[in-house]
Amino acid sequence: MSSTTDKAKGLANEAIGNVKQGIGKVVDSDKLKVEGAIQERKGEAQQAVGKAKDAVKKAIDG
């Protein structure tokens, strides 16, 4: 997967995770809050992978 794809998927997962958490708070669903938090963290990790790939490519390309 390219760094851009990783970062885009990461942003999407973060956004969906935030929405799930918000809905979980509104409807008082611990399950949705937890799922949202997990998905948000997954998104953050995906973005970090994308940024790391960019850094490696930049280091190699000089």
CB-neighbour burial class of residue 58 (10 A; exposed 0-12, middle 13-18, buried 19+): exposed
- Model pLDDT, residue 55: 94
- Model pLDDT, residue 52: 96
- Model pLDDT, residue 1: 80
pTM: 0.85
Residue type, 27: V
Q: What is the pLDDT along the chain (62 residues), one digit of tens a residue?
A: 899 999 999 999 999 999 999 999 999 999 999 999 999 999 999 999 999 999 999 999 97
